[in-house]
């Protein structure tokens, strides 16, 4: 992929040189006057093309990564609404106190500088759903990606076939994950795991949704009935 992008860039420079020579040869100085405008159009097309290449490359990479859970199944142990989780508190020593002091003063100064009556944009409201689930990958998968990351699970309104559908159907993302260690849930320390795992996940979900599909990128794992109650935040 990188080699292709380099070839495209080299090809662009060659094309620009050929274009300049051709314009001068056929139209002389009049052709050189038009040259900058043609280059602007050329650059716009080239940027669009390169962005498309990067997007397709990223989508293909995540699609391959998703194959680690292709054909995976899930067993739901519990699912319930929970209040918005509290943010983790930082340990404060002398240095942190000074840093926090400075941050508070800066925030106060910014707040005072805001014009009276200005509307401050707030975050969209979210429901928080705690899911206790065991995910079991298919035993034999012909794929270079064998490890998977629980923090990259996604909730969608419907089953999706490709990541291109995600922007329209994404309704929930992982807020926090804990891993079952055989006797209790613990922190998601390694981040990547092979094989079957029991997870306790808190999702932040778009309010008002009753059902959701659990996906690992573009790979569907199963459908969930979401709790009806909405948690006030």
| DSSP strands (E only) in the chain | 73-81, 127-136, 147-148, 153-156, 170-180, 185-187, 193-194, 197-205, 211-216, 219-225
The pair of structure tokens assigned to 46 is 């080239």
Q: What pLDDT does 89 receive?
A: 46
Range list of H helices, 145-197 = 166-169
Cβ distance 222 to 158 under 8 Å?
Answer: no
Q: What pLDDT does 88 receive?
A: 59
Measured distance CA(93)–CA(95) in Å, rounded = 6
For residues 205, 210, 215, 218, the Cα torsion angle rounded to the nearest 10 degrees is: -100
The DSSP code for 228 is: S
Q: What pLDDT does 35 receive?
A: 59
Q: What is the pLDDT along the chain (233 residues), one digit of tens a residue?
A: 556 556 656 666 666 666 666 666 666 666 566 656 666 776 777 677 666 656 665 656 666 788 889 899 999 999 999 999 887 544 445 444 454 555 555 555 544 544 444 444 556 788 999 999 999 998 665 555 688 999 999 999 999 888 778 888 999 999 999 999 999 999 998 889 989 999 999 999 999 889 999 999 989 999 999 987 654 44
Using a cut of 0.75, tell me whether the model's pTM lies above it.
Answer: no
């Amino acid at each position: 992929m990188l080699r292709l992008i380099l070839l495209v860039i080299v090809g662009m420079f060659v094309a620009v040189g050929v274009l300049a020579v051709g314009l001068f040869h056929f139209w002389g100085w009049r052709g050189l006057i038009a040259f900058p405008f043609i280059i602007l159009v050329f650059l716009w097309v080239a940027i669009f093309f390169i962005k498309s290449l990067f997007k397709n490359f990223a989508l293909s990479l995540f699609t391959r990564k998703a194959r680690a859970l292709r054909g995976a199944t899930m067993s739901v142990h519990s699912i319930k609404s929970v209040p918005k989780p509290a943010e983790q508190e930082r340990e404060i020593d002398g240095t942190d106190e000074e840093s926090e002091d400075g941050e508070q003063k800066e925030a106060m100064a910014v707040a005072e500088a805001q014009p009276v009556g200005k509307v401050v944009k707030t975050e969209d409201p979210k429901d928080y759903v705690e899911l206790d689930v065991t995910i079991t990958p298919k035993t034999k998968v012909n794929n270079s990606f064998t490890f998977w990351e629980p923090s990259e699970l996604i909730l969608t309104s419907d089953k999706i076939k490709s990541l291109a559908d995600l922007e329209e159907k994404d309704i929930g993302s992982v807020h926090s994950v804990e891993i079952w260690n055989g006797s209790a849930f613990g922190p998601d320390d390694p981040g990547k795991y092979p094989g079957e795992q029991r997870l306790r996940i808190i999702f932040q979900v778009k309010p008002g949704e009753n059902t959701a599909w659990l996906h690992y990128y573009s790979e569907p794992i199963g459908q969930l009935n979401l709790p009806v109650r909405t948690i006030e935040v």
